[in-house]
Structure 1
């Protein structure tokens, strides 16, 4: 049995490790166009900030560790064509130009994603960087040393983390987004307003609700022109989202309109013996009850592992995702799971919500902080669909609890009286998660 793996970041690494652990006699050939595997791009902002000094520590596996497991990685090798019917791939070694062909019995597609690059004049100027892989991390770190004015285009998770990191290094930072709020995909307005206030208080310039029209400069970027203003820039980071890298599979596999490969709960695609996982694939988004494109490392490692377990027979089903995420910004811990109220309304879902601000510990304790939690739920059934929280105290693990609550389709009634422990060092007799659900339930009793 020979398996070809195309791409080896998170899903590919998880798949390979699990296959070689469960089925050591299976031949695994990996084709990776880079010379590294398993880079945690979520750590780029930590490296820029100085929290992680050595960027090489953002790897958790290497080609050598995969070889030691018995896999055969072809590094710096690009797959140029795939015929899923004849079960053959063509490849080219990037360093030598040598071309070859490889057959397979089964194939694992983990081609990942690539940053969305806006189609505007000047986007190819020197000083405009992407934030995705190991090489980008090194380039950004080096370019930022002598930069004074840094513009970040895109106010999602990557954009806001980089903005804070650059500001901590004393840079003048401008954050631009077409949306009129930051983190609009993850937070409702009352939460994003609070985060925006933090950014303004810490000297970051927000240019929200603005469309980039041009990157201007003489060979090197000097300013960013939007439909409302112009901003000086020695360095620009594009953080406008990601797209799945699946062009070579179009016409061969079922996909979402954006090219994300549709897989079933076993990670099988629409074609026999073809698996897909990670950023190249769609995921079943539990709160909305449909497939969405949610590129997260957490989704990738789960999907890659499940695909390996199901290599010969369906043994474990993927439970779907709630798109759970968290971020720390200027001392505040922010986390979200499931669907926001704003997103739910755009999908024509009938929802309601409840928000409370509670102390993390009893007020007789020497240290306690406020935590604000919002729960979004179906108005008729009271099934919980989403949650967001913010606090200076790190209580973000509560969002993991709420992620499970959503996946199991629990109601306000069930959550309000769920059993959580009490100890004054950690929480109150009524945990704030219980309290929020109880506050929502009181609207109906």
Structure 2
């Protein structure tokens, strides 16, 4: 079996290592156009604020180690064309400029995603940066020492993390968001308001409903002028964090893509061409709360899909179970964790959904200290299925988000959650666990 993997992203690295583990007889070649593999972009904010001292620590795999496993690793090789009918690819060696073809029995497309940069005047200025890969991370760190005023455009996970990192390093930070809330893919408006309040308490200026229309960088040594319908802003540096888009140009006309350009796969992660698999940010993933495929660029999902492709290389062995898009964010002294769908998005998807919110101490008040946790639980009013949850507070509730993720994947109901056996210890929770309590609140609401 001759296997070609295009792109050594999180999904690609996992697919390669798992293939070599499960099918050591396979002939595996990796084509990667960059000079590095496996960069964890979630570490950029950590590097900016010196939590991580060396950016190179954000690589968890090397071309040399992959080669030691028996993989034919082709770094700085750009795949120019795919011919699905001939099971052939055209490749250019970016150093020698030589162009050649290669053939495959199975093709694994793990080309990842790229920063979605709006086509605005001035966006290509050296003072307007994007946040995604290793080299962009280097530019962000280098510019931090010479830029006191920093403006972040976009309030997704990357934008929020960078805003915190710049605030922690004594920068004057402004966050511009085009719509009415932050983290709109992950939280509802009430939780967004709590996050905005936390940012503001730490000196970050937040402007919602403020889409950027242009950047004026005509004067080389002058600050960037940021144009919006709500007025102009000036800043020494701008970092654009307006989301990601799938890298799927190679597959245009070769396999089925959705309207956003993400690859459509089946339960076995095969594309419409059975010899071509796809995983990670290049794909639309089955989102279990709605049972529909959507674009979910998360490393955790990419790794799971890479492992599953390795299992299905010779036949249908492991179904892809879908994802809940479970995430977490450390924001100053507080933790945000989310899983599943928000109420706002559930209603927009036509689901008869509602939510309940638990606010209370995470453990008994007789303990020396405790703190408030906020839990919003989203569920379907028709069948009582759990659809999503959002957690916020100083106490670490990330594993509770994982527990709700399991509940969503297993199609559990609010009744299931209310009566799930959970531990009690005064150091960690209440006699009735907060997950039991928020589910009981949902039952009471329905009754």
Partner of 2:337: 335
Q: Answer whether contact 1:153 1:236 (CA < 8 A) is retained.
A: yes
Residue correspondence of structure 1 range 31-180 to structure 2 within 5 A:
31-180=31-180
| 1:403-439 deviation digits (Å, cap 9, x = unpaired) | 1101111111110000111111211211100000011
The Cα of 1:444 is off from its aligned counterpart by 3.2
Which residue of structure 2 aligns with residue 189 of structure 1? Answer: 189
Helix, strand or coil: the match of 1:212?
A: coil
Q: 2:301 aligned to 274, 279, 299, which one?
A: 299
1:230-260 Cα distance to aligned partner (Å, 9 max, x none):
1112211111001101112111111110110
TM-score w.r.t. length of structure 1: 0.98
CA contact (8 A) 2:82 2:254 kept: no
CA contact (8 A) 2:224 2:238 kept: no
**SS of residue paired to 2:151:** strand
Kindly indicate whether residue 209 of structure 2 is the aligned counterpart of residue 209 of structure 1: yes
* Preserved contact between residue 326 and residue 335 of structure 1 (Cα < 8 Å): yes
2 CA distance for matches of 1:120 and 1:62?
Answer: 36
Rounded to whole Å, the distance in 2 between the matches of 1:421 and 1:46 is: 34
Normalised by the length of structure 2, the TM-score is 0.98
Which residue of structure 2 lines up, in the alignment, with residue 249 of structure 1? 251
Answer whether contact 1:7 1:33 (CA < 8 A) is retained. yes
Structure 1 residue 51, shift from structure 2 partner: 0.7
Q: Secondary structure at the match of 2:445?
A: coil
Q: Secondary structure at the match of 2:213?
A: strand
- 8 Å Cα contact 2:374-2:393 kept in structure 1: yes
Instruction: Give unpaired runs (5+ residues) of structure 2.
Output: none
Match of 1:314 in 2: 316
Asked if residue 261 in structure 1 is aligned to residue 263 in structure 2, the reply is: yes
Pick from 362, 367, 370: which aligns with 2:369? 367
From 385, 388, 405, the equivalent of 1:386 is 388
Alpha-carbon distance, 1:367 to partner:
2.5
Q: CA deviation at 1:372?
A: 0.8
After superposition, what is the alpha-carbon deviation per residue over 1:182-220, rounded to whole angstroms, capped at 9, x for unaligned?
112111111110111111121111121112111111265
Question: In the alignment, which residue of structure 2 is the partner of 1:2?
Answer: 2
Greater shift after overlay, 220-229 or 367-376? Answer: 220-229
Distance in 2, matches of 1:193 and 1:338, equals 19
Shift of 1:266: 1.2
Determine if contact 2:337/2:397 at 8 Å carries over to the other structure: no
Counterpart among 238, 241, 246 of residue 239 in structure 1: 241
Give the match's secondary structure for 1:334: strand
1:126·1:219 contact (CA, 8 Å) conserved in 2? no
Q: Could you tell me how far apart the structure 2 residues matched to 1:227 and 1:148 are?
A: 25
The count of aligned residue pairs is 445
**Secondary structure at the residue paired with 1:199?**
helix
Q: Within 2, Cα distance between the matches of 1:143 and 1:379?
A: 50
**CA–CA distance in 2 between the matches of 1:443 and 1:213?**
44
Deviations 1:63-102 (A, max 9, x none): 0110011101100110001101101111111122121111
Q: Distance in 2 between matches of 1:166 and 1:271?
A: 46
Distance 1:118 1:85 in 2: 35
Mapped contact 1:125–1:219 kept (Cα < 8 A): no
- Quote the residue 1:358 is aligned against: 360
Give, in angstroms, the shift of residue 229 of structure 1. 1.5
Q: Distance in 1 between matches of 2:254 and 2:97?
A: 27
Could you tell me how far apart the structure 2 residues matched to 1:212 and 1:374 are?
Answer: 31
- For residue 325 of structure 2, what is the aligned residue in structure 1? 323
Q: Which runs of 4+ in 1 moved over 4 A?
A: none
**Correspondence for 1:279:** 281
Looking at structure 1, the residues matched to 213 and 370 of structure 2 have their Cα atoms a distance apart, in angstroms, of: 47
Partner of 1:226: 228
Superposition deviation, residue 115 in structure 1: 0.7
1:378-417 alignment, distance < 5 Å = 378-417=380-419
